[in-house]
Chain A
Amino acid sequence: MSAFNAIGEEREIDRDEFTPGVEPQPTWCPGCGDFGVLKSLKQALPEAGKNPEEVLTVTGIGCSGKLNSYLDTYGFHTIHGRSLPVARAAKLANPELEVIAAGGDGDGYGIGGNHFIHTARENHDMTYIVFNNEIFGLTKGQTSPTSPKGHKSKTQPSGSAKTPIRPLSQSLTAGASYVARTAAVNPNQAKEIIKEAIEHDGFAHVDFLTQCPTWNKDARQYVPYIDIQESDDYDHDVNSREEAAEIMRETEDVLNEGTVLTGRYYVDDDRPSYQQEKKAVGEMPDEPLAERYFDDDAEWERSYDLLERHK
C-alpha cells in the first residue's frame, strides 16, 4: 500500500475543495489580476483530475507568492525567487506529485532568473506560472524586469533605461517544452492553458498577464488581446521551434506598443522530461524515492558495503 494515498485517488472532485475553509480571504486589491490565476487553477485542477492533496504548489514572494494561501493544496510558500529549486527537488523526491510553481515577474524573471533558465533547460516536469504585471506590487510599485523601457517609478524616477526581459523567448531558448502566455482578462483561455500546462509532461512555462490596478495603471494588459489560436492572422506551427521563436519575437518586441498576443506558442511533446532523462542514465530510481521511507521492507545499502575499496 502506498504511503501517499491521496496521489492518484479516483473520485469526483469539487472545485470548492481547492478553497480554504474559514480563512484566509485574499489580501489582493480589488481588480487585481491575481484573482484570475487563482480562479483558473481552481477550475483547471479538477478538470485535469487532480485532487488537492496530490498537488504541491510552490510559490515565491510577492502578491503572487500568496497564491497557495488561497488555494487549498499542499503548499510551500518559499522565499523571493526560490520557488523553482524547491519545486524541482520535491518533484525529484516524489515524481508522482503534481508540482506547480508560481511567482511574479520580479520574483521569477529577476531574482530567480538563474533558476528559471536552468529549470527550463533541464525540462523538469512541472508547471510554472509567472504572474506578469510588469511591476513590483507588494513592495509598492518599483520597476520590474518586464516593465517597459522608460517606465518611471520611485526607484527609477527618470524612467527605466533598461529593455524589458523577453520571458517567452528566454524560456524557449533555455529549453522549456511548453511555452504559453495567457491573461487574467481572458478567463476561458487561461483555464485551458493552465490545464494543458498541468497535463504537459515537461517544463510548462505560462507567462500569465495580470493587471495591477494599484501600482501599474498604465500597464498595456488592458488592451484587447488577440488569441493566436483563434485568429486567422496567425497560423504558426506550435511544434516548430523556429516559428514559435519568430512569433514570440514579434509580440515581445511590441508588447508595450499596443498588440498583445496570447495562447500556445510552443509545445514539444517528444522531449523527455528531466525525470525521464535522469532515469534513463541510471541516476534516478524507478519508484518514488519518498515512498521508500515508509516501506518497512525497503532494502538500504550501508556504508559498510562500500568499505572494500578502502581496505
Chain B
Amino acid sequence: MSDDELIWRIAGGSGDGIDSTSQNFAKALMRSGLNVFTHRHYPSRIRGGHTYVEIRAAEREVQSRGDGYNFLLSLGDSFARNPQEEAFYGNEEIKPLSENLDELREGGVIVYDSGLISDEDVADLNLEERAEENGWHVYPVDLRGLAKEHGREVMRNTAGVGVTAALLDLDLEHIEDLMSDAMGGDVLEANLEILHDAYEMTEEDFEFEHDLRAPTGDHDTEQALLSGSNAIAYGAIDAGCRFIAGYPMTPWTDVFTILSQNFPDMGGVSEQVEDEIAAAALAVGASHAGVKSMSGSSGGGFALMSEPLGLAEMTETPLVLIESMRAGPSTGLPTKPEQSDLEFVLYTSQADSQRVVFAPGNIEEAYEQTRLAFDIAWDYQIPAIVIYDQKLSGENKNVDIEFFDREVSPDLGSTLTEDELREAAHDNSGKFKRFNYEDAEDGVSPRSIPGQKGGRYLATGNEHSPVGHINEDPDNRVAQMERRLEKLEAIRTELDEERDSTQTYFGPDEADYGIITWGSSQGAVEEAIERLNNDGHSVKGISVSDMMPFAEKEVTEFLESVDEAMVVEMNATGQFRGLIQKELGRYGDKMTSLLKFNGNPFEPGEVVEGYEVNVAEEDQQPDAQVRIEPAAGD
C-alpha cells in the first residue's frame, strides 16, 4: 500500500473524547488542503470499551476507510474495569493498543500512552518483536503525565495530537485555530500549552525512524466536513421540511438531533414522542395539515412504523421516513452497521403496499436523495423512505460547500390553493373529490389541506370513494387501486427521463466483470475497482440507489454488458441480489454474492480478495471475514 495517504487511528475507551478529538483533527487535515474520510467504530456502552476512529487523508479524493491504517494513537482505556479475572466486558486499559495491532500496516507508527498503559501489559504483547517483524516504529509517550502537569488529565487527547503533529511534521496552525473556535479561557490556554509541549517534547526526545509524513494537498474551493446524518438532515431542510417527530434510536438519533437543534431557529417543529408508532403517525398528521414533515428510525423502531406507513399510503398523505440500518435481528449489534433491512423496508406494511425507497451510497447522495424523496413524496402523495446505515450515518467526508448552495423547495407538490380548489371537481353535494380517479394524471389526484375553503373531505385508511367516504363497491375498489398503482410506474418514468440517474458507475465503460453494490458499501467497491483495473483486470461497477421503483433499466444494461457479476452487500442472505432477481426475473446464474456481516464495513481489499477468489473459481472462501454465496444453480 502506498504511503501517499495517512490513515490515522485514534483508539481509547468510549467517553475518553476520541470522537471530538478526531473530528477536530480531521477538520485540521481538511483545512490543510487534504481530502479526508472518517470511520467510526464504537461499542454499545457509554463509557469504556474499545473504540476507535480512523481518519484517512490524501491529496486525491478518498471515498472509503481504506485497508488497515498506518498511524496508531493509542490512548488506553481510562474507564477500563477489570476487578476480577472474568471482567464483565473483558476490558483492560491495554485494549486500545492490543486490539488494534492486527490491522496496522507495515512500516506503521505507534504512539501509546505510557502514563496509562503499563509496561508489563506492553511486555505481554511482545510489541518489540512484532514491531521488528512488521517494521513498525513505536513511540511511548507519557501523555497522561503531560496533561496532568497542566492540571487536566483528560487533555491527554490534545497531547496525543501534539505528538502526532510532531511525528508527521504537521503545522499546528489549523489545530490551534480549531481549538480557539471550540473553547476559551483557561481551558484553551491549558490545551494550547499541552499541544506545544507535546510537540516539542516529541521532537527533542525521539529520533524519528519512520518514513511516514502527512501528505500535502490544496483545495480549489472551500470545503465542509460532514457526516451522512448531516447530509440527510440538510437535505430535509433544503427540501422545505420543517416538522420532525421521532424517538431516539442509534444510529437514526443523529438526524433527529441535528434537526431538533436547528428547527427552532427556522420556525420548524420537532417532537420527541412516546414511541415510533406515534412518531410516524405525527409525521402523517402534520403532513395532512399541510407541512412538509418526516420521521425515521432504525430497524427495530421502524418495525413499529409499519402501521402509519400503510396509513399514509392509503390516505395518500405525503411522508418521508428515514431508516438507518444496524446489524440485527432484534437489537442485534446496536452500534454496528449492516445492510440487512432492505427487504424489510421494501415490503413493510400489509397488502399490496407501495412506497419509494432510495439508498444513497455516499454523503453527497445522502443529501441529494433526501431532497428527491421529499419531492417525490409530495408530488405523488406516496411515502418515500431513505435507507442508509450506521456506517454512512457516522462517517465524515469533506464536501465542496458549493454543492449545498441551492434554494429551499417548500413546494407542496400536488396540493391545491383555495383558488385552484374552486375550479376542482366537486360532487353534487358540493364535496371536494379528493380521490378523483377520472382525471388523475400519473395516478395522482390533487389534495386540499384542512382549513381551506371548499376542500372538505375525509381521509381514511379504509377503501374510499372519490370524496373519501368508506366504500366497498368493487368497481370503485378496482379504480382506486389501479390509480394508486399507477404512481410507481410514473415515478419510474420520471426518474428515468427527467432526473439524473441516481445510480453511480465506476470503472471503464466496457469490462468483462461487473461488481454491483448498494448503499454505503459503495466507497469500498469504488476503490476496489480502481485497484483491480490498475492491476490489469477488467472490472466495472454500479452502485444502485433506486430500490423501489427499481432501477430496472440501468441494472439490466449493466448485467447484459458483463460476463459475470458479484453483488457486494453487508448482510448474510444476499438481500439485494434477491431483489435484482425478483425485479428482473433472470440473471440468477450470472451473479455471486460477496457478503459481510461481522459488524464491520467492507474494506476495499476484501472486495479485491472476493473478486480474486471468485474469478479464480477456486472452491474456497476468502480469508477475510466475508462470505461468498454462489450463483443460483451452482
Contacts and interface: CB of A to CB of B under 8 A. Distances in A.
B545 interface: no
A160 interface: no
Interface in A237-295: 278, 282-285, 287, 289-290, 292-294
A180 B242 CA distance: 35
A66 B470 contact: yes
A79 B307 contact: yes
Contacts of A89: 243, 245, 271, 281-286, 289, 293
Given A78-B461, A85-B278, A90-B450, A293 B408 contact: no
B470 A307 contact: no
Given A92-B271, A96-B451, A290-B291, A76 B285 contact: yes
Contact of A24 (B225, B285, B470): B470
A230 B462 CA distance: 42
B459 A290 contact: no
A208 B274 CA distance: 25
A228 interface: no
Contacts, number: 238
Given A79-B307, A94-B289, A118 B418 contact: no
A107 interface: no
A92 B460 CA distance: 21
A302 interface: yes
B452 A4 contact: yes
Interface string B504-548: 000000000000000000000000000000000000000000000
Majority SS of interface residues in chain B?
Answer: mixed
A76 B468 CA distance: 10
Interface string B242-277: 110100000000000000001111111111011101
B240 A300 contact: yes
A289 B269 contact: yes
Interface stretch (A34-42, A49-57, A182-190, A214-222): A49-57
B288 interface: yes
B81 interface: no
B410 A293 contact: yes
A174 B274 CA distance: 13
B57 interface: no
Chain A interface residue count: which class? Answer: 35 or more
Given A5-B453, A304-B401, A307-B401, A92 B281 contact: no
A186 to B, nearest CB: 28
A97 B285 contact: no
Given A88-B285, A289-B268, A310 B230 contact: yes
Interface residues of B, number: 84
Interface string A48-82: 00001110101000000010110011111111001
Contacts of A82: 277-278, 281, 307-308, 311
A12 to B, nearest CB: 16
B168 interface: no
B355 to A, nearest CB: 16
Contact of A292 (B267, B275, B401): B267
Contacts of A284: 269
Given A6-B452, A93-B293, A20 B262 contact: no
Nearest to A294: B417
Residue from the set B242, B270, B431 with the largest chain A CB neighbour count within 10 Å: B242
Interface in B15-31: 27, 31
8 A-B pairs closest in CB distance: A21-B429, A89-B285, A4-B451, A303-B234, A77-B460, A290-B290, A86-B285, A85-B281
28 contacts: A4-B453, A9-B453, A21-B428, A22-B428, A53-B455, A69-B470, A74-B455, A75-B458, A78-B284, A82-B281, A82-B307, A86-B281, A89-B281, A89-B284, A89-B285, A90-B288, A92-B243, A93-B269, A115-B274, A118-B278, A284-B269, A287-B267, A293-B290, A301-B265, A302-B404, A303-B237, A303-B367, A304-B401
Given A75-B459, A77-B460, 9 more contacts: A3-B418, A22-B429, A74-B450, A78-B281, A88-B285, A91-B289, A93-B286, A300-B407, A311-B224
Interface of A: 3-7, 9, 20-24, 52-54, 56, 58, 66, 68-69, 72-79, 82, 85-94, 96-97, 114-115, 117-118, 278, 282-285, 287, 289-290, 292-294, 298, 300-304, 306-307, 310-311
Interface of B: 27, 31, 222-226, 230, 233-235, 237-238, 240, 242-243, 245, 262-271, 273-275, 277-279, 281-286, 288-293, 307-308, 310-311, 315, 367, 401, 404-408, 410, 412, 415, 417-418, 427-431, 449-462, 468-470
